[in-house]
Structure 1
Amino acid sequence: MNFGEVLSKAWKIIWKNKVLWIFGILASCGRSSGGSGGRGNFNLPSNGNLNLPKGENPFSNSQIPDIDKLGQNFEKLFTNGNEPQWGFIIGLICLIFFIAIIFAFLSTIGRIGLIRGTVMADNGQEPLTFGQVWTSSLPYFWKVFFLNLLFGLVIMLAMLIVLIPLIIFAFGTMGIGLLCIIPLLCLFIPLTMILNVILEQANVAMVVEDLGIWASVVRGWNVCRENIGPVAVVALVIIFGGGIAGFIIALPLLLVLVPLLVVVFSQDQSVMTTGLATSGVLLCCLMPVVIGLQGILQSYIGSIWTLTFVRLTAPKPVESEFPPSVTVLN
């Protein structure tokens, strides 16, 4: 396989068909946590200051001011006196579950769109439109969705089966068993990477060759097993190159922390308000840029995996039985 051709062709496809960036943004919904964010509020006293002597550092005792009040307020969200607020707890769980389902749906349609769009562009069906890629992706939605869902459940179940006995053993041995967990966790990292590579090829096989769930897994495994070298090279390029690119893309978000640091070490209420407002504005301005760049990166990675599968599974040209210099006489 020509690695340079795959990398350059993938970039040409997503650059010429920028509609794939949208599917890259959708696909990235299931690849990272997206954004976290606190409210930026430490429940400061309502009188507008911390009532501390001038020059005293409120963090000199390694504690956040009013941390007790913060804990009490947080506890009140889940309890009413001594009784748990089951309605609020169940509602929160349902909300988290609903958001997770939405993200899984968006990630699935984004993943399929990248595969379909890349194959269509590679076959010369350019320029692509959003409706064209979207419509051609829908028939594969449920198969890809359940494939990735089952994969996640199997990984989670395997980790629970292995880790729960080790955790119990660690408690039973007063923490000495933790020495067994650390090497196991280190083993899980490369193992998970390998399984993710197989999953990527299984997803592409399902969409490109219209296979069922189990047949796609077998096909992905066979492609990886029969082409260990090329797949490993592509995986390393994506893992390290994509990791570096993702880190660079996320760097601007560090600017959000600068005003927060001023807030942490300031005792002036106006400075705190200004710092929090500045962080909020920076976050709102930078997040669309970061999400967009992450979508471009994800579309590029998805195109690379798709072209890798297509190139590795393409029929090899049949060599002539006779050398070119030999003339066959009747």
Structure 2
Amino acid sequence: MDYMDTVRRGWQITWNNKWLWLLGFLAALGSGGSAFNNSNYQVDAQNLPAGSGGLTPGMTAALGGGILLLLCVFFIIGILLWLVSLAARGGLITSVVELARGETSSFRKAFGQGWRKVVPLLLMTIVLFAVMIILVIVMALLFAGTIAGAIAAGSSGSDNLAAILGSLGVGLLCLLCLLVPLSLVLNLIYPFAYRGIMLRDLGLMDSIRHGWSVLRDNLGNILILGLIFFVVNVVIAVIFGGIMGLVGLSTGLLQVMMSGNQATTSQWVAAGLGFLAASLIFAVISAIVTAWRSATFTLAYQQWTGKDVIKETVAPVPPAPTM
């Protein structure tokens, strides 16, 4: 296949239909939904200084309940963002195919097409990554159990502790050696199983088998296209890092932090505004690249499965009758 022509066609569709950028932004939301799960709250009422009033058991219970409620709200928001991301990804796929055929599409139509398939997309995602999720849980349990055993055996001597930690390292290494290639394969199957649902209306298991078939038959082409966008992402990351560094230098925050001094309030405010502006610019660029990558892989998928609209032949016009 002509890689650069496919990349160019994907860019043309993305640039000429800028509402695809919004779908790209929504599609990227699913990757940030788990950020709420990293919060850690701890309140130690016994260590409060005297005279601060402390926390009564009722206040502690109320605080704990409030934190739990907040975490539940964040969890629900994360799930909703994930569903929106699934629908947006589906809409990107169908709209690119329609636009490549010369048909009309719109944000509302594309998102609606994705939302109607959000349940099978959700089930396919869960089933496809179920084994990896189980392995991650097993690794977490193994780590926690071994650490607990090491603490319990700490008083028995360093030999027992070293043996337990050694067993932990071997077990985690074996699971990691299984998890890394499995994760790579599943993440390569996933986009084509996705397109099987959106473009071929395949069922749950049929879409996964279809994704594996496309991956197996076109592995080299897929890796080359993936490498192209990997380079694009690296370039964008370097540019973004440079912009962040310039913001820190221009506001004097970086010099102050490196010298060990304390920054002024105006420096923090200026740096915060600069970082916010840079982050917004990066979010727009990320949305464009997400839409571009999806469009390119959709056009490539059409070629790999014999559905490329550019190469489809049109029935010849019958010759005029001779007199």
Q: TM-score range by the shorter chain?
A: 0.7 to 0.9
Equivalent residue, structure 2, for 1:309: 301
Equivalent residue, structure 2, for 1:253: 244
Structure 1 residues 224-263: aligned runs within 5 Å:
224-238=215-229, 240-248=230-238, 250-251=240-241, 252-255=243-246, 257=248, 260-261=253-254
Q: Report the Cα distance in structure 1 between the residues aligned to 2:34 and 2:69, rounded to whole angstroms.
A: 22
Q: Does 1:143 align with 2:120?
A: yes
Tell me the TM-score normalized by structure 2. Answer: 0.73
Structure 1 residues 1-330: aligned runs within 5 Å:
1-32=1-32, 80-81=55-56, 83-84=60-61, 85-126=63-104, 128-165=105-142, 168-169=145-146, 172=150, 173-180=163-170, 181-182=172-173, 184-185=175-176, 188-238=179-229, 240-248=230-238, 250-251=240-241, 252-255=243-246, 257=248, 260-261=253-254, 264=257, 265-267=260-262, 271-314=263-306
Q: Report the Cα distance in structure 2 between the residues aligned to 1:139 and 1:33, rounded to whole angstroms.
A: 21
Deviation at 1:117, TM superposition (A): 1.6
Deviation at 1:286, TM superposition (A): 1.9
- Aligned-residue sequence identity (percent) comes to 23
Equivalenced residues, count = 276
Per the alignment, in what secondary structure is the counterpart of residue 9 of structure 1?
helix
Question: What residue ranges of structure 2 are gaps of 5+ in the alignment?
Answer: 37-41, 49-53, 151-162, 312-323
Q: Report the Cα distance in structure 2 between the residues aligned to 1:285 and 1:166, rounded to whole angstroms.
A: 41
Deviation at 1:295, TM superposition (A): 0.2
- Cα gap change, 1:234 to 1:80, in 2 (>3 Å): farther
Which structure shows the bigger proportion of residues in helix conformation?
2
- Cα gap change, 1:315 to 1:197, in 2 (>3 Å): same
Per the alignment, in what secondary structure is the counterpart of residue 165 of structure 2?
coil
Question: What residue ranges of structure 1 are gaps of 5+ in the alignment?
Answer: 37-69, 318-330
Q: Report the Cα distance in structure 2 between the residues aligned to 1:137 and 1:273, rounded to whole angstroms.
A: 46
Per the alignment, in what secondary structure is the counterpart of residue 175 of structure 1?
helix
The C-alpha deviation readout for 1:157-201, integer Å capped at 9, x for no partner, is 222124533553465434223532246436533431221110111
- Cα gap change, 1:315 to 1:24, in 2 (>3 Å): closer
192-201 vs 246-255, which deviates more?
Answer: 246-255
Q: Report the Cα distance in structure 2 between the residues aligned to 1:273 and 1:206, rounded to whole angstroms.
A: 53
Q: Report the Cα distance in structure 2 between the residues aligned to 1:174 and 1:256, rounded to whole angstroms.
A: 48
Deviation at 1:80, TM superposition (A): 4.0
Checking the alignment, whether the CA contact within 8 Å between 1:25 and 1:291 is kept in structure 2 is: yes
Checking the alignment, whether the CA contact within 8 Å between 1:263 and 1:275 is kept in structure 2 is: no
